């Protein structure tokens, strides 16, 4: 048998482990490097190696937990954020491979506590987070040896505390390079639909239409009522003005007192008085002379009364022709007509 004819089997290749997005192996070269002295290096720089040049840092948190915990990576005893000051003040100049820790601003009550740095990153459309190896901070070198022993114990108890390999990543939707909060999308949809309704202008509630119609009708009725009241007031003023002008004209011409004068001339004395004055009683001879003289005086006084009586009768007839609402010009015209009529009557009587 030809050995070359036998098919050769190839061993199955094992998958190569994917490289970590961030390599913290160069951050702390030794255990003593994990103890940071605040007085010697108030602004302490840290560096690491990103696995991809497209890595973009999204944020970093400085976390701690008590040294009495079993492990700095124990999920039952999670890390807490360093409080008392803004995180952006403690973590300075964050880049894809470096950050500066402001040890001088750190609260001294957190010294000799287990600490890690948690960094959020993004590579293309993949987002994730990486956690650094454990370290601690002291104020001076007086507690350096004690702190090194504490860190060494943390590292021996947990491998993750030594290498910092605790990482997680997730694939966001392909449509968006970065995650978008859901409440932003849901809140924008009603705004868009509302804007569309406003743009079309075809959707108007029936209650709004009824309210507009009722309001317009009420406004129109109010305007009509105001116009009617103004016209009535103006008409009343005109009537009062014409009436006042008529009365004033009659008072100026003396027409108002004409009727009483004529009435008084018709009956100045009673009939019995006239008879007694014309026929004195018998047995009074001494009064005959006076009777004759009085008769003569009465006879002489009669013609003037006849002359004035027609003019007053004319005035009386002219007064009753004046009506309410006549203007002064109309009254003058009526007076002129009556005067011409009187002249014609006098001319006819002379003939």
Whole-angstrom distance, CA of residue 302 vs CA of residue 296: 10
pLDDT of residue 86: 65
Q: Compute the mean pLDDT over every residue in the chain, rounded to the nearest whole number.
A: 70
User: Average pLDDT of 280-288?
Assistant: 46
Which range has highest mean pLDDT (133-142, 191-200, 257-266)? 133-142
> Is the pLDDT higher at 141 or at 252?
141
Mean pLDDT of 158-168: 71
Over residues 199-224, mean pLDDT: 82
Instruction: Give the residue, 48 or 240, on which the prediction is more confident.
Output: 48
Q: What is the CA radius of gyration of the chain?
A: 64
Q: Which pLDDT belongs to residue 271?
A: 46
The mean pLDDT value for 1-5 works out to 50
pLDDT of residue 71: 52
**Residue 158: Cβ within 10 Å count:** 17
- Does domain 22-170 fall under CATH 2.60.40? My reply is yes
The whole-number pLDDT of residue 296 equals 42
- Whole-number pLDDT of residue 258: 42
Using DSSP, state whether 140 is helix, strand or coil: coil
Q: What does the pLDDT look like over 189-206, one tens digit per residue? A: 443 334 344 444 455 678
Q: What is the per-residue pLDDT across 69-118, written as a single tens digit (0 to 9) for each?
A: 555 455 445 566 665 556 677 888 999 999 999 998 888 888 988 888 98
pLDDT band at 51 (very low <50, low <70, confident <90, very high): confident
User: How much is the pTM?
Assistant: 0.42
**Residues forming beta bridges with residue 100, ordered by sequence position:** 45, 92
Q: Residue 131's Cα: distance from chain center in Å?
A: 52
Distances (CA, A) of 28 to 52, 103, 224, 252: 21, 17, 93, 127
Average pLDDT over residues 39-57: 91
Per-residue pLDDT tens digits for 301-350: 444 444 444 444 554 556 666 777 778 888 888 888 888 888 888 888 88
pLDDT for residue 25 = 81
**In the chain, domain spans:** 22-170, 210-268+294-350
pLDDT band (50, 70, 90) for residue 156: confident
> What's the DSSP call for residue 204?
-
Residues 91, 60 contacting (CB under 8 angstroms):
yes
**Of all residues in the chain, what percent carry a pLDDT higher than 70?**
54
CA distance 94 to 101: 10
pLDDT over 90 percentage in the chain: 17
């Amino acid at each position: 048998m030809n050995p070359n004819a036998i098919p050769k089997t190839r061993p199955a290749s094992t998958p190569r482990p994917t490289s970590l997005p961030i390599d913290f192996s160069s951050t702390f070269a030794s255990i003593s490097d994990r103890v940071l002295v605040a007085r010697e290096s108030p602004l302490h720089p840290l560096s690491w190696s990103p696995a991809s040049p497209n890595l973009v840092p999204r944020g970093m948190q400085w976390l701690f937990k008590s040294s009495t915990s079993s492990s700095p990576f124990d999920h039952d005893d999670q890390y807490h954020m360093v409080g008392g000051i803004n995180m952006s003040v403690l973590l300075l100049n964050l880049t894809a491979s470096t950050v500066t820790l402001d040890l001088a601003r750190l609260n001294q009550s957190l010294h000799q506590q287990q600490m890690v740095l948690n960094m959020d990153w993004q590579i293309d459309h993949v987002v994730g987070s990486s956690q650094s190896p454990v370290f601690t901070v002291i104020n001076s070198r007086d507690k350096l040896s004690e702190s090194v022993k504490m860190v060494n114990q943390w590292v021996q108890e947990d491998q993750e505390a030594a290498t910092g390999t605790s990482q997680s990543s997730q694939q966001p939707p392909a449509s968006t390079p970065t995650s978008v909060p859901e409440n932003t999308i849901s809140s924008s949809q009603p705004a868009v639909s509302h804007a569309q309704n406003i743009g079309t202008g075809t959707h108007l509630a029936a209650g709004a239409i009824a309210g507009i119609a009722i309001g317009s009708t009420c406004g129109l009725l109010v305007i009509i009522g105001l116009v009617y009241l103004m016209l009535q007031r103006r008409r009343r003023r005109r009537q009062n003005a014409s009436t006042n002008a008529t009365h004033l004209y009659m008072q100026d011409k003396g027409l108002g007192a004409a009727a009483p004068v004529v009435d008084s001339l018709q009956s100045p004395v009673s009939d019995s008085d006239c008879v007694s004055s014309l026929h004195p009683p018998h047995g009074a001879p001494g009064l005959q002379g006076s009777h004759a003289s009085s008769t003569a005086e009465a006879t002489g006084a009669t013609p003037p009364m006849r002359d004035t009586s027609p003019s007053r009768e004319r005035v009386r007839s002219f007064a009753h022709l004046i009506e309410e609402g006549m203007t002064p010009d109309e009254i003058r015209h009526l007076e002129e007509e009556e005067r011409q009529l009187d002249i014609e009557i006098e001319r006819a009587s002379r003939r």
